[in-house]
Amino acid sequence: MRLRILVSTLLPVVACAGCGDAKPKTDSASVTPQATAALPAGESMLPVPDGKIWYKKSGTGTGTPLILLHGGPGFNSFYLKPLEALGNDRPVIRYDQLGSGKSGPMTDTSLFTIAHFVRELDSLRASLGYDKVHILGHSWGTILAYEYYKAHPEHVSSIVFGSACLDIPAYEKRAKSLVATLSDSAQKAIKLADSTKKYDAPSFQGAMSEFYGKYVWRHPVEADLDSTMKSANEGIYNYMQGPSEFTITGTLKPYNVTGELGKIKVPTLYTVGEFDEVGPEIVKGFANKTPGAKYALIPGSAHLTTWDNPTEMIKVVREFLASADARK
């Protein structure tokens, strides 16, 4: 996604990313780091390998802590703010992955890897002194959640996979099928952009706007839109995903762990929006392959369930985490 253009053309309807020449041609990625002024209460900057990440700890509950993993890759955690309501039950940690949001910059493309983000997450967990945590990943964050569990199962109490992107080929096929539901003009603009590899055209931006308004979010939180887009990292997104939600050219293109889901041994919840770009049928299939997993369809919601139907999303996650804690 061409984020600099999207900031000005798609803010009314553009969504946070899901799951050719879109990759950076140099070893850089454009992102503006936050100023190093004093942070509000509960917020901190943590040195991690290759930089510093911003995080916020909220909540007064005493249950097992929950760490939130945002989507992208290269986006940020603004849209996960509603889940801080779970702090009544437990500490909730919301953070921005390195290179995006309020965290420091990341310019070395050799670090645009799953392994880097797994190390980063473990540094955060360890620094907070948590031996066991619940992890909630959304979109790309579900890949990070699964890979973290695979690397450090001893530290994971449960997993919530929100709008799971655990089979990128299946997701891409689904997303492309949704393009066929758009207006004729949008379909023509997408076809032209994919054939020419020119994704900056206003017609393509308009087509993306139409797609996002149907399948990525339906009720965005206007106050967070500008922050979401302006602090996203175009380089990371393009390098790992590609130029759009439905054209996958990045390093994640072959990712598929469907055959491994039977090995998950902790309580697991899958959530998905009714109109979600990732496809309820795909997510339900993941749940069916995961031993004892629970599945919840969030009505009236597209991909960003925390914006489209936060009440139901919070309720479902709260009940799941309480049940997971009760199993200890």
Active site residues per annotation: 139, 276, 303
User: Chain-centre distance of CA 211, in angstroms?
Assistant: 18
If phi over 0 gives left and psi between -120 and 50 gives alpha, with beta otherwise, what is residue 279?
A: left
Alpha helices in the chain (DSSP H): 3-9, 114-127, 140-151, 168-179, 184-196, 202-215, 222-230, 234-240, 280-289, 305-308, 310-326
The identity of residue 135, as a single letter, is: I
Beta carbons within 8 Å of 142's beta carbon, 6+ residues apart: 69, 161, 162, 163, 164, 165, 166
CA atoms within 13 A on the CB side of 267: 17
| Contact between residue 302 and residue 276 where contact means Cβ atoms under 8 Å apart | yes
Residues in the chain: 328
For residue 217, how many other CB atoms are within 10 A of its CB?
26
Cα gap 182→117, rounded to integer Å: 34
Cα dist. 271→10, 33, 274, 298 in Å? Answer: 26, 32, 10, 7
Instruction: Kindly give the pairing relationship between strand 51-58 and strand 156-162.
Output: unpaired
